[in-house]
Structure 1
Amino acid sequence: MQLSEKELEILEILEHDSRLPLDSIAKMVDLSEKETKEVVEKLEGKKVIVQYSTDINWRRVDGHEGVTAMIDVKVTPKRGVGFDEIAERIYRFEEVKAVYLMSGTYDLSVTIEGKSMSQIANFVSEKLSTLDSVVSTTTHFIMKKYKHDGTIYEYDDDDKRIVVSP
């Protein structure tokens, strides 16, 4: 889909901060609020804008830390459908947050979230590894999130400058 310069500008603004009011976006791209709303609705209708989301730093909420794992999966693709069929079977599991087709040693990268490491281990051993096309898996647990989708999660606000006094 070919987009106009204004449409691309609106997408970049929304990607950075989807909570901006339409009137602010309209001013930024030099369109009326009505025109801006029409562009956004068009992009939503064409599934260019798929969803608006909120990034939450769950480490700061007591009792809601959870565990996130990235699983490298080697699969045997099926004739006629390639990797699409097995990828769809995997992304339909509730625990799965993302599935990507990758180049390199492994074919798919799967991101899942659970309440504990044992819950993720059960997912891998009872659900993922038992799928016919899955040849092998390697699980990596995320220990700490520093930056995600351009948002920095952990940084030190303390001023590290040396105090100089006369």
Structure 2
Amino acid sequence: MHLTDKEIEILEILEQNARVPMEDLAKMIGENEETTIKLVKRLEEEKVIVHYATLVDWAKIDSYQGITAMIDVKVTPKRGVGFSEVAERIYRFKEVTSVYLMSGVYDLSVTVEAKSMNEVARFVSEKLSTLDSVVSTTTHFQLKKYKHDGIVYEQKKNDKRIVVSP
């Protein structure tokens, strides 16, 4: 799909802040609000803009008990469909938040969110490992999130006071 410079500019702005009011977005790209709304609607209809999301730092919520695991999966691809069929079976599980085809030792990278390590373990042993095409898995548990989707979670505040020495 070919996009205009204005459409690409809209995507770049919305990727940084999806909550920009249409009025402000229009000013930023140098268009009127009506044209801007039409451009955004077209991008949504064509599935270029797939979804708007809020990025939450769950680690700051005392009562949150969630855990994120990244699972490397080695798969035997099927003739005619390659990795797509098994990837689709995997992403249909409610625990799975993302699936990527990767280069390297493992074929798929699967991200899972659950309430506990035991829940992740049950997912791997009862659901993921039992799929016909899955040869092996390696599970990594996320301990701390520093940066996600270009957003740094904890930035140090710079001390802007002038240093005074005796």
**TM-score normalised by length of structure 1:** 0.96
Counterpart position of 1:9: 9
Q: Which amino acid aligns with 1:67?
A: I
2:87 is aligned with 1:87: yes
Cα shift at 1:164? 1.1
Contact kept, 8 Å, 1:86 with 1:133, in 2: the verdict is: yes
Contact kept, 8 Å, 1:22 with 1:33, in 2: the verdict is: yes
Contact kept, 8 Å, 1:145 with 1:154, in 2: the verdict is: no
SS at match of 2:28: helix
Q: What residue ranges of structure 1 are gaps of 5+ in the alignment?
A: none
Q: Which amino acid aligns with 1:111?
A: T
Cα shift at 1:163? 3.9
Contact kept, 8 Å, 2:65 with 2:116, in 1: the verdict is: no
Cα shift at 1:105? 0.3
1:107-153 Cα deviation digits (max 9, x unpaired):
00000000111110110011000000000000000000000001111
Separation in 1, partners of 2:118, 2:145: 20
Cα shift at 1:27? 0.3
The aligned runs of 1:105-120 (5 Å cut-off) are 105-120=105-120
Separation in 1, partners of 2:27, 2:160: 38
Shift >6 Å, 4+ stretches? none
Counterpart position of 2:34: 34
- Point out the more displaced range, 150-159 or 16-25: 150-159
The aligned runs of 1:1-166 (5 Å cut-off) are 1-157=1-157, 159=159, 163-165=163-165
SS at match of 2:63: coil
- The alignment covers a number of residue pairs equal to 166
Cα shift at 1:160? 8.5
1:34-73 Cα deviation digits (max 9, x unpaired):
0000000000000000000000000001111410010000
SS at match of 1:51: coil
Contact kept, 8 Å, 2:102 with 2:109, in 1: the verdict is: yes
Separation in 2, partners of 1:133, 1:75: 5
Cα shift at 1:101? 0.2
Q: What residue ranges of structure 2 are gaps of 5+ in the alignment?
A: none
CA RMSD of aligned residues (A): 1.5
